Chain A
Amino acid sequence: MSASKSRWADDDAETEAIIAQRKREKEEKRRAKAEKQRQLEQASKASAPAQSVNELQTANGDSGPPKKRRRLSNDPDGLSSTEEVARGEEQKKVSSLLRFPVREWGPCRHVDNFERLNHIEEGSYGWVSRAKDITTGEIVALKKLKIENSPDGFPVTGLREIQTLLEARHQNVVYLREVVMGNKMDDVFLVMDFFEHDLKTLLDEMREPFLPSETKTLLLQVVGGLEFLHAKWIMHRDLKTSNLLMNNRGEIKLADFGMARYYGDPPPKLTQLVVTLWYRAPELLLGADKYGTEIDMWSIGCIFGELLTKEPLLQGKNEVDQVSKVFALTGPPNSQTWPGFRSLPNAKSLRLPPSSAPSSSGNPPLLPRSRFPYLTNAGMHLLSGLLALNPAARPSAQECLAHPYFREDPRPKPKEMFPTFPSKAGMEKRRRHHTPAAPQRGQEAPELDFAGVFGGAPGGDSGEAGAGFTLRLG
């Protein structure tokens, strides 16, 4: 205990009796506090370097400790008015200091600490399998990073994935437990919490889409996780239903941070080759090299639409087809709905139909009602906002969470009330989906010719026929 006694207490005690007494009281308190602190290791940490300081000072011999001790306190000022000291101490009695989370570092464990159970999926940046932690028996997901003769050393995408996942501790972001290594230098595995489903496979297996109340619960969680990421200056850049993991307790988490990265203000130079084609925002398709979190909000819009209809909303075959599908849904851009889109690199080749009648009023314009017959007006407003061509018109994740859609009936369903589903990932090998793969890093950004986007045929929009009547209860 004597180690925790303040080194400055003695000096002060000699100066004045009243102060001395107060100091002693304070000392008592501090000692009690330090003892508690010890349990948190922090105090013990400070003591080790403290020894090295003393050693160093005796070694150097020059700067004597007493001189420095005096520098430490505000005593010269404080002594002149005893009252001030007293007041300061009264404040001290109530002050409680914030403690920072204490983390440590150590070397990676070996992958042999896990027993691999079955293969789950091959993603764009690695192979995923289900595994068991041999010491604890816990089931985890093991993701092997792809590191193939990278000329620049450890791939920056893998590093960013680890870095952002470690930072993004949130209930709606998949939990990275640790990074383990194999025998070879480039065998690196991420150990994450195992989830029974991904949303894509689940939607494929379901006969009916989620109920409106379930859709809201899912969307709220996804946007909640995304809001956290954006607040931490992280862009996900590959949001899609197959990257959303679900368990049987109604919880959903953002996963696969292979494209995620920090952004800044002003934004750094970014590659436009991000986000899987079907979920890629129009400004990326038109070749913008400056973009922001709005691209994630577009993907959220696509996911929202997919939750409603069970089918991916915009299934383009290639970039050009994707652009035409987007414009078929939203209507072609004009300088009113999307100021400045003409200056984007790939917009030069874009020939818009001459008489694009100004679609439904409002900015952003509402999407055609017939595509989403069961959606309420508030829901329609939110979806149209997320899928606004103009990135500036899209709501932020925070605005999204406050949208009236989530407050009107039917209310979001409590997570505990969610139905459960048989897990594909849990027991058997998954069939490969036909979602196109995320773009590869290092690819050349294609020179796109959008001349044919509105080539003759009036858009691919054949779904104008009204839907039949169905009654579903939320």
Chain B
Amino acid sequence: MAHPNPGLTHLSNALATPGQLSASSSSIDGVPSDLEASIRCAGAQLTQAAGVLLHLSQDIIAQAIVIFTRFWLGADGGSLRIYSVKDVSAAALYLTAKLSFQPTSPRSVLNVYTLLLSREASPLWFVNLRGAPKQPPSADSYTITEGGYQSARLVLLRIESVILRTLSFDTHVALPHTIALTYLQTLGVTDAAVSRRTIEYLNSALFSPQLLYITHQPNALAVAAIYLASREQGCKLVDGEWWEVFDVDREELGFLVVGMKSTEGFMRAEMEKWKSPGKTIPLAVEEVDAEIERSRMMQEGE
């Protein structure tokens, strides 16, 4: 077997260890694993939505989601009963943008998060089940006061430091998107629909409950997305085990294909599960505590 090639560092990522995947700080603190998955997925969607509203490019948003996801893993990671998902999402996005070519200000970030977390005005289904209102509600419901901004800013900057410490300041995230485009060119695929579908699969995989971005290297993610996209679009690729050319074995490809295909089902199940009125995915520590308390009482009642 070939030795790891140190020249490939910039194309590869730090991956979660089995220990980090099996025990999270939240599970130690008594957060049920299905609730943890729901909250983490909602946090990733929140980050994505905020990134779009901040006009950040998708590579920055994707990196922020990966950093956000890494933060919660392992016994040394962050716990949902200590850190609020909404704060970590905002800080991860702010931090990633700061290191990118499109830095943004705490003010912009907090304005956007105030809107997205507003129960009246948010377009996110897991915050506001009715969706974005047709008539804008009163501005108070989605704008931040000056005092609110000052204290939220301090929280943002504190959580930024917490993320950095939890990840030992390693902010490197290699993404599969550009790799996928290179592979598509190498495979001679000219169909724009296949490329678009590939990118769509890669972006959806950011929300995967199997944490594909932190268990697999970007080249494997790219190959799996191309495999799915070309199948779906009826685009014939070369004969033979072409994925081996891109250093992915069949086993890994198979796993990733299943993982990417199942993300949609997971999201649908999530919407079904959290659809009942008055129930929202908890995005702050108090809400998580309340939700755990509620489900415990439900169980005891049965």
Contact = CB atoms under 8 A, between A and B. Distances in A.
Interface string A317-334: 000000000000000000
Interface string A53-82: 100110010110100110111100110000
Nearest to A81: B239
A8 B249 CA distance: 13
B142 interface: no
Q: How large is the interface on B (under 10, 10 to 19, 20 to 34, 35 or more residues)?
A: 35 or more
A100 B98 contact: no
Contact of B171 (A57, A63, A163): A163
B266 A106 contact: no
A113 to B, nearest CB: 13
B14 A100 contact: no
Contact of A106 (B74, B94, B105, B164): B74
A103 interface: yes
A266 to B, nearest CB: 10
A101 B6 contact: yes
A101 B219 CA distance: 13
Given A6-B250, A52-B210, A56-B262, A104 B99 contact: no
Given A153-B106, A156-B98, A45 B254 contact: no
A60 B269 contact: yes
Nearest to B99: A159
Contacts of B135: none
B258 A53 contact: yes
Contact of B4 (A72, A100, A179, A185): A100
B257 A71 contact: yes
A50 interface: yes
B262 A63 contact: yes
Interface stretch (A84-92, A297-305, A451-459, A466-474): A84-92
Contacts of B251: 6-7, 30, 46
Interface stretch (B45-53, B182-190, B240-248): B240-248
Nearest to A178: B168
B204 to A, nearest CB: 15
Contacts of B167: 105, 107
A213 B78 CA distance: 55
Contacts of B1: 33, 36-37, 96-97, 99
B239 A84 contact: yes
A156 B99 contact: yes
A74 B250 CA distance: 10
Contact of A179 (B3, B18, B76, B168): B168
Interface residues of A, number: 72
A276 to B, nearest CB: 24
A72 B257 contact: yes
B231 interface: yes
A154 interface: yes
Given A52-B209, A163-B171, A71 B12 contact: no
B254 A8 contact: yes
B81 interface: no
Contacts of B105: 152
Contacts of B14: 103-105
B287 interface: no
Contacts of A107: 76, 165-168
Interface string B149-189: 00000001110110011111111100000000000000000
Contact of A72 (B2, B165, B209, B253): B253
Contact of B5 (A98, A167, A264): A98
A401 interface: no
A36 B212 CA distance: 23
B233 interface: no
Contacts of B157: 152-154
B215 interface: yes
A332 B261 CA distance: 65
Contacts of A84: 239-240
B70 interface: yes
Contact of A181 (B4, B165, B170, B255): B165
Contacts of A108: 165, 168-169
B172 A56 contact: no
Interface string A177-209: 011010001101000000000000000000000
A30 B244 CA distance: 13
Given A56-B209, A159-B98, A100 B249 contact: no
B217 interface: yes
A153 B160 contact: yes
A463 B91 CA distance: 57
Given A73-B250, A179-B169, A60 B99 contact: no
B257 A68 contact: yes
Contacts of B231: 71
A464 interface: no
B11 interface: yes
19 contacts: A44-B18, A48-B21, A49-B21, A49-B211, A49-B215, A49-B259, A56-B266, A63-B265, A71-B231, A72-B258, A77-B239, A95-B244, A99-B5, A106-B168, A107-B167, A153-B95, A159-B95, A181-B165, A188-B169
Interface of A: 6-8, 30, 33, 36-37, 40-42, 44-50, 52-53, 56-57, 60, 62-63, 65, 68-69, 71-74, 77-78, 84, 87-88, 91-92, 95-108, 152-154, 156, 159-160, 162-163, 166-167, 169, 178-179, 181, 185-186, 188, 232, 264, 268
Interface of B: 1-6, 8-18, 20-22, 70, 74, 76, 94-95, 98-99, 101, 103, 105-106, 156-158, 160-161, 164-172, 209-212, 215-217, 219, 231, 239-241, 244, 247-255, 257-259, 261-262, 265-266, 269
